[in-house]
Amino acid sequence: MEIKTNAENALRSLREILQQIDTNSDISEIKEKKEQLISINKTINELKNKNISIPEEVQTLKIKLVVEIEKYDTACSAIGFIENEMNILRKEILSIKKNFMNNSGKINEDSGSGKTFDNPRILIIDNHQYKISKWYEVLIIVGNYILKKGKRLPSNRQYGVNILVSQDPNRLKAPKKLENGFFIATKYNKQLTLNYARQLLIDCGLNCRMSVITEKDDRISPKI
């Protein structure tokens, strides 16, 4: 609700700018008008000191300049307000994005018990079974499985915005060392981990069946 309010305020101020500012004016023109206004005020004061009546066209020009300058100043204030609102929006969006990323891999809870059952227990690749307890282990095992099959891992290849395998651990998220000395990134949520693992197998020419048995699956299935 607060984000919506901030956005509405920003849009309202933007409409005010469009109504107030002369799109044909630039800063140099406004500066020139301010100088003209100063000169006119000086002339008016001199005329008053000499008890000389002020020509109507001078008064009219002064009013016109004052209005135009005030519109420009108001528009500048509105722009400053919008910039401030947009900064607030950016921070709130980044906060929401961060919370979403933190929660996107969160495991589900078994109803009523308060205990989680989405932890991985066994990784199956074709007829091979591997006991695991953390999701990141899937990528490590898949990486080493590919190497044992005599295949080369795609080093420094982009998967979206991420690199999965590299000799340089500094290029990776939470790098873990593989059997060939290379490193594999592991800091991903459950779904990304599974997607990347399957994609690695495909990219290395291995048409493997891969699945993971979780604690929840194990509770309703015979133990392997």
pLDDT digits (tens, 9 = 90+) for 51-95: 877 778 877 888 888 877 777 666 666 566 566 667 667 777 777
Retrieve residue 80's tokens.
């400053």
The amino acid present at 205, given as its one-letter code, is G
Cβ atoms of residues 195 and 212 within 8 Å: no
Which residues pair with residue 130 across a beta bridge? 123
pLDDT digits (tens, 9 = 90+) for 131-170: 999 999 999 999 999 999 999 999 888 887 788 999 999 9
| Cα(108)–Cα(119) distance, integer angstroms | 9
| Cα(203)–Cα(205) distance, integer angstroms | 5
